Structure 1
Amino acid sequence: MKEYFPLFVSSKGKKALVIGGGKIAARRISTLIDFEFDITVVAPSITKEIRQFAGAGIITYIEREFTDEDLDGKFLVVAATDKREVNKYIGERAKELGAYVSVADVKEECNFYFPAVIVKDEVVIGVTSGGKSHKRVKDISNIIRKVLNHEN
């Protein structure tokens, strides 16, 4: 039996919060952008890629440390800081508030797994191993992309 059910829900206009501004945060943001989330990023510093998203008005960037109020009204939260204790706290608080939360550094603290996402025309595919094998997910996702790109 599996604990996690793959559920596709409308994300258009839903409030997403990404705490952290590094490479993992940038990857998560890149995926969320494709699904019309209203994205806010809170971090004292961000990557060049995240800065470009903010400069283009695609996301809202708040340059500071996380505060509890940042979680208010959020549908989805990604805790991707470089501080273990901060990620853990964010995960606990976000769940208490009823948000879907992905804690980047500890899979057991997530209440959803951020999948590898494959989009081809109207088809959206999410692949996850429940946090058990990132390499296997990457390999399977690449196979699926190859198959979809060779379709006629």
Structure 2
Amino acid sequence: MFVDLSKKRVYVVGAGTIAKRRIRSLCEFVDCVTVIAPEVNPELNKMEKAGDIQILRKKYESSDIYDAELVIAATNDHKINEDIYRVCRERGILVNVCSDKDKCDFYFPGLITRDDVVVGVTANGANHKRAKAVTEQIREILEEC
């Protein structure tokens, strides 16, 4: 299912490697992503200056995500990720805990975009290598079209 996320309030808690990948993917489909992290790297600073993301340079607090419609928990702290999951469950917010596929309402597919075509490939969070291989095969096919 593809959902129009353009006007949704999307939050990413964390700013590490996985968080950056998720943020890059989301920015293709969301008007603005809010990132919550005490420190961010130069790439995210550039994205903020370009207006692609908003950064709250602070430690996460439960109330930070109360108005969210979709949340990515991408910290390296199990307790924080667990709290994010709990808050989202209580408030009916869709959540993806990057470190625990059982705590994900949705998965990030491998994305291929070409002109006005978007293809998403997933293995339901189970076989990332296979999903990546299929994504690359589809990318090659679309480049030939």
What TM-score do the two structures reach when normalised by structure 2? 0.94
**Which of 132, 136, 142 does residue 138 from structure 1 map onto?**
132
Partner of 2:34: 40
Deviating runs (4+, > 6 A) in structure 1? none
Partner of 1:56: 50
Partner of 2:21: 27
Measured in 2, the distance between the counterparts of 1:10 and 1:39 equals 14
Does the aligned pair in 2 maintain the 1:16–1:37 contact within 8 Å? no
- Where in structure 2 are there 5+ consecutive unaligned residues? none
Does the aligned pair in 2 maintain the 1:20–1:81 contact within 8 Å? yes
**Which of 12, 17, 21 does residue 6 from structure 2 map onto?**
12
Any residues of structure 2 matched to 1:52-131 within 5 Å, and which? Answer: 52-131=46-125
Q: Which amino acid aligns with 2:88?
A: A
Number of paired residues? 145
Does the aligned pair in 2 maintain the 1:23–1:47 contact within 8 Å? no
Does the aligned pair in 1 maintain the 2:35–2:54 contact within 8 Å? yes
Identity in percent: 37
Measured in 1, the distance between the counterparts of 2:31 and 2:101 equals 23
- Over the residues paired in the alignment, what is the CA RMSD in angstroms? 1.1
What whole-Å deviation, never above 9, does each CA across 1:44-96 have from its counterpart, x for those lacking one? 11122111111222111011111111112211100000111211221121122
- Where in structure 1 are there 5+ consecutive unaligned residues? 1-6
What TM-score do the two structures reach when normalised by structure 1? 0.90
Measured in 1, the distance between the counterparts of 2:138 and 2:52 equals 28
Does the aligned pair in 2 maintain the 1:26–1:47 contact within 8 Å? no
Measured in 2, the distance between the counterparts of 1:129 and 1:92 equals 25
